Amino acid sequence: MKPRRDLFPKKGRPDEEHYVYKTFLISANSLEKLVYTMFLMLAFFTSQNANNLFLASAENAYSDVSSKNSAEKLFSIQRAINSAVDGDTIYVPPGVYTENLKINKSVKLIANGTVELNPVNPGDNVIEILKDNVILTGFTVVNPRGICGICVKGSVGYKIIRNKILGGNYGLLINSSRRGLIEENDVKECLFGIYLQESLENTVARNNIETSKFGIILSLCFNSTVAENRVVNCTYGLYNHISDRSNTMRNIFQNNIIGITVARSRANKILVNEALNNFYGMHLDYAQGNIIHGNIVIGGLIGIKIQNSQNITLTNNVARFSTNNVAIESSVNITVSRNTLEYAKGHGVTVYETLNSILSMNTVSFCRVGISVENSRSATIGNNSLKQNSYGLFLFRSSEVRLLSNKCDNNTVADFYSEGAEDIIVKNLEINAYSNIGEVSFTYHGDVSIKWSGPIEPRTVRLLSGFFNITLSSGGWMMVNVTYDLKDIQDTQKEEPVLYKWTGVDWKTVRGSVKEESPLKGSASFLLTETGIYVLGAGEKTVESFPPVIGIIAVIILIISSYVVLKILKDRKSA
């Protein structure tokens, strides 16, 4: 090529003198290597750590294989890894790469832009980490028919951050590794999204897992942390199997078959998660010593199910709109406390074939059954608030149940219902409706239900309680104790309280024993053997003296008698 001499003439020299500029023919391959070499040099000088080099020389980082021309050379990630030493950093240029990588150096491998990796051999792991302190960031692994997208074997202190894995049996597989971090990865359409096995002290945080059979699995792992992940449209959101002392917190599990499963695992904490519209929100099976605290569970067949487990604590959770909000079955030493359970089509809490359960300070409302204990033994149910359910407290074929200071309000069928129960102690059952019934304690034999009743007029005595409706089975009985305020019977000529039973026609007196519990409280005990509406009263005029029908008749007789007397007096005066 003939050089041009008419470019950039230099002032002060004769016009015929010019700089002669040579032009160079640069092959596409040489230009590519030149740009990459400049990129490596720039990265080297801008690195904050002198040990973090943009490694391998441009020549060593290129392979001899090209899809277009065998004479050209292409950049190879594996060659760059092979050329690196421990502590180096490799920035991978944008592009689509077809390689299976084995990272056997303690290096940082960082995608500088969009880097897509496809396996040469789908039967092998696409990326395999075999060394400690490896950092892998920014890769997109496309592996629809492969075995594993990213596999970590025997590594300590690894970090897998902001990668995308699409397809494969395993998105990320962590085996026999510890103190690693899996963060902000996007995993979709895998059989196992993130699978950790036989590993210690790993953290899985802020990942997004979708459309996989298993979202996150811990198998034979200990002291793991699973935090702030989002798992959607999977069969199992989190599956914790034979893995102890893990913390699962602030995750979102949505539209899975089971949000969280804990099986044969001990001392795990499930804290402040959201389980939304899963078929089962949380399921514990053969678990021991686990804590479920502060979670929100919405929808599904069962919000929280505990089965074949022992020493489980549920506190401060909110469960709504499930068929059964909390279901406990075939377990021992279960504590359910301070939970808010609402709008269940079935049960707020159901306890079935369970020993030594404690249900305390829960608020249960708008359910078919508030708290149900069936075929169970040795349960303590105390200080719960049961409002606007069909049934408040429901006992079926259970024994040694103690109900202490529960508050029932406007449960439509029964505040307390018991069928086939034995050795039941009910203390201070507070039933509120149109008026305050007060505190009712009782023991009983046979089937029984108790609920509020609307007031029956006229009220001709000072009432010490509201009206409550008791139903007893044939041959059944109830020894009921009603606690009242002593000031309510002061200044009445009849100081002794009397229990009145409404028969549907008139009032009937039920005699019992009366005593003072304290200077402010008194109590009256009565043996009831008949179904009816009862009220405790005291005063000069009793309900018994003036039942509604007799009162009306008495008024009519009084009017007629007065008319007759006046007529007689008028006739005598006229005579």
For residue 30 the two structure tokens come to 């040489």
**pLDDT (tens digit per residue) in 153-195:** 999 999 999 999 999 999 999 999 999 999 999 999 999 999 9
pLDDT at 65: 43
pLDDT at 441: 83
Give me the percent of the chain exceeding a pLDDT of 90: 59
- Mean pLDDT, residues 92-104 taken together: 96
- Mean pLDDT, residues 233-251 taken together: 98
pLDDT at 522: 77
Task: Select the more confidently predicted residue: 543 or 79.
Answer: 79
- Model confidence at 3, pLDDT cuts 50, 70, 90, reads very low
Task: Select the more confidently predicted residue: 201 or 552.
Answer: 201
- Model confidence at 566, pLDDT cuts 50, 70, 90, reads low
Task: Select the more confidently predicted residue: 117 or 505.
Answer: 117
521 φ/ψ angles, rounded to the nearest 5 degrees: -120, 145
- Model confidence at 504, pLDDT cuts 50, 70, 90, reads confident
- Mean pLDDT, residues 387-392 taken together: 95
**pLDDT (tens digit per residue) in 272-299:** 999 999 999 999 999 999 999 999 999 9
Task: Select the more confidently predicted residue: 461 or 102.
Answer: 102
Task: Select the more confidently predicted residue: 537 or 208.
Answer: 208
pLDDT at 539: 59
- Model confidence at 26, pLDDT cuts 50, 70, 90, reads very low
Cα 1 to Cα 5: distance, rounded to the nearest angstrom: 13
For residue 551 the two structure tokens come to 């009162």
- Model confidence at 554, pLDDT cuts 50, 70, 90, reads very low
Give me the percent of the chain exceeding a pLDDT of 70: 76
As separate numbers, helices (DSSP H) first and strands (DSSP E) second, the chain gives 3, 56
Task: Select the more confidently predicted residue: 377 or 46.
Answer: 377
- Mean pLDDT, residues 532-552 taken together: 57
Of 411, 379, 373, 376, nearest to 395 (Cα)?
373
571 φ/ψ angles, rounded to the nearest 5 degrees: -65, -40
Domain borders along the chain are 462-544
- Asked if pLDDT for residue 7 goes beyond 50, the answer is no
- Mean pLDDT, residues 522-541 taken together: 80
pLDDT at 66: 41
pLDDT at 567: 64
Task: Select the more confidently predicted residue: 550 or 192.
Answer: 192
| Element holding 527 (H helix, E strand) | strand 521-528
The class level of CATH for 462-544 reads mainly beta
- Model confidence at 540, pLDDT cuts 50, 70, 90, reads very low
pLDDT at 564: 59
- Mean pLDDT, residues 383-399 taken together: 95
- Mean pLDDT, residues 86-96 taken together: 96
299: left (phi over 0), alpha (psi -120 to 50) or beta: left
Model-level pTM?
Answer: 0.80
**pLDDT (tens digit per residue) in 59-80:** 455 554 444 433 334 679 999 9
pLDDT at 49: 39
Strand boundaries in 375-487, DSSP class E: 377-382, 385-387, 391-396, 399-404, 407-409, 414-419, 422-432, 436-445, 448-452, 462-463, 468-472, 477-485
- Mean pLDDT, residues 391-398 taken together: 95
- Asked if pLDDT for residue 238 goes beyond 60, the answer is yes
- Mean pLDDT, residues 83-109 taken together: 96
pLDDT at 323: 97
Cα 191 to Cα 225: distance, rounded to the nearest angstrom: 22
Q: List, in sequence order, every residue forming a beta bridge with 314; answer none if it has no partner.
A: 292, 336
- Asked if pLDDT for residue 575 goes beyond 90, the answer is no
Comparing 118-127, 203-212, 420-429, 556-565, which segment has the lowest mean pLDDT? 556-565
Averaged pLDDT score across all residues of the chain: 83
- Asked if pLDDT for residue 50 goes beyond 60, the answer is no
Task: Select the more confidently predicted residue: 203 or 47.
Answer: 203
- Mean pLDDT, residues 91-108 taken together: 96
**pLDDT (tens digit per residue) in 355-381:** 999 999 999 999 999 999 999 999 999
Cα 573 to Cα 575: distance, rounded to the nearest angstrom: 5
